[in-house]
């Protein structure tokens, strides 16, 4: 797969912005020249159950990004779906907008972590994982903030 010119330009711009990111909770690995994938480390927010914890995300960008949403998964899922899938509406087609950026997605995930009231897998983890496609963008999510 090769990225469109729009995708390359957008990703180069976003990588530049990430290098200047003011949030101490987001650290992108910008050393790789592969624009199709990006690993990002998030730190658990202060005043949350995840304070001081590190979370690894992997972004995989489609050829026509930002017109199509990226695939975003946790690489070390220890509290979310055991396959790394993330139930967060803004990263899926139904709610995706090209105005979203890598940084805004990271901030949304940090917000999700900050609002957690307990550290545990979703109650339907085993049933979801047993039937889930490898690409979470193909899942039929029902977004209910208190149930994902």
Q: Which residues are catalytic?
A: 87
Alpha carbon 68 to its chain centroid, in Å, reads 14
Q: What's the count of helices (H) and strands (E) in the chain, helices before strands? A: 3, 4
On the CB side of 31, CA atoms within 13 Å amount to 2
Reference 21, options 114, 109, 101; nearest CA is 101
How many angstroms separate the CA atoms of 141 and 148, rounded?
9
- List for the chain the helix, strand, coil content (%; round to 5): 30, 15, 60
**The token pair that represents 67 in the structure block:** 């017109």
What order do you get walking across the sheet with 26-28 strand by strand?
26-28, 37-43, 54-60, 71-74
């Amino acid at each position: 797969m090769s990225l469109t010119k729009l995708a390359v330009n957008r990703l180069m711009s976003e990588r530049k912005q990430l290098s200047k990111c003011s949030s101490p909770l987001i650290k992108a690995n910008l050393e790789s020249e592969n624009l199709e994938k990006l690993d990002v480390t998030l730190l658990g927010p202060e005043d949350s159950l995840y304070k001081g914890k590190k979370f690894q995300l992997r972004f995989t960008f489609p050829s026509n990004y930002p017109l199509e949403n990226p695939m975003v998964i946790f690489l070390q899922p220890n509290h979310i779906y055991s396959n790394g899938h993330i139930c967060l509406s803004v990263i899926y087609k139904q709610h995706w907008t090209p105005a979203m950026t890598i940084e805004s997605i990271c901030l949304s995930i940090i917000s999700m972590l900050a609002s957690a009231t307990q550290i545990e897998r979703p109650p339907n983890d085993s049933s979801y994982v047993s039937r889930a496609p490898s690409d979470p963008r193909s899942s039929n999510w029902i977004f209910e903030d208190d149930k994902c």
